[in-house]
Amino acid sequence: MRVSAKICGVSTPEAIDASIRGCASHVGFVFFPPSPRNVGFDRVAALAVRVPDGVHRVGVFVDPDDALLDTAIAAGRLDVLQLHKTDPGRAAAIRSRTGRELWGTVAVKRREDLNAAQSWRGAADRILYDARTPDDATLPGGMGMRFDWKLLQGFAHPLPWLLSGGLDAGNVATAIGISGALMVDVSSGVESAPGVKDVDKIAAFCKAVEQC
């Protein structure tokens, strides 16, 4: 099966266009002010119209309230909601209320962390496995951290899933080979500086995924 890619934290027309040229299946818009990738509603509205049919718009949130979700969904024409640090019960309510595809995040450092995936059964459509960040970290992801991909080997995933955390063009093929991922998510690995997407790195990442 072909592996698909999500380019996350896009905030410029150039990054959108590079993702589309690279055949990304998903582009991610971050709605979290502490993040250098945060997009305002006016900016995301202008970016969303550049995304063609067949490429999914993902809104990335950290325990959002309903008002933020509703405004972001409308402005960004969001197809998918990716939630960090959100209780599965709350996520299930969001999924039911909005009618959007929902991704729950599982932060991983040790094998036992994967057990949290079971709590997303019935609450999410897909699980995103990401590296666990330090407890005092400002951001829940997008910090270039990765976990041991071998932890995913032999694990009985309760839902479809994707791999995130510290991926780039140089290691994504290895990550896919070890973990068995059929979808991968990249943010800092295609940047020249925090929040600044590099179109050449996006192209290289997409090419590496396409060759898997």
pLDDT at 153 (0 to 100):
96
pLDDT at 141 over 60: no
Q: Find the mean pLDDT for residues 162-177.
A: 97
Q: What was the pLDDT predicted at 193?
A: 95
- Average pLDDT on 158-178 reads 97
What mean pLDDT do residues 110-122 have?
96
SS (H, E, C) 116-150: HHHHHCCCCCEEEEEECCCCCCCCCCCCCCCCCHH
> Element (H or E) spanning 41, and its range?
helix 41-48
pLDDT score recorded for residue 212: 86
Q: Is the pLDDT of residue 139 over 60?
A: no
The whole-number average pLDDT for the span 27-43 is: 95
Residue 165 to residue 185: CA distance in whole angstroms: 8
- Give the residue numbers marked as catalytic: 8, 130
> Can you give the pLDDT at residue 170?
97
> What is the pTM for the complete model shown?
0.94
pLDDT at residue 140 is higher than 70:
no
* Residue-level pLDDT at 143: 56
Mean confidence (pLDDT) of the chain: 94
pLDDT of residue 142: 52
Average pLDDT over residues 84-108: 97
CB 64 within 8 A of CB 93: no
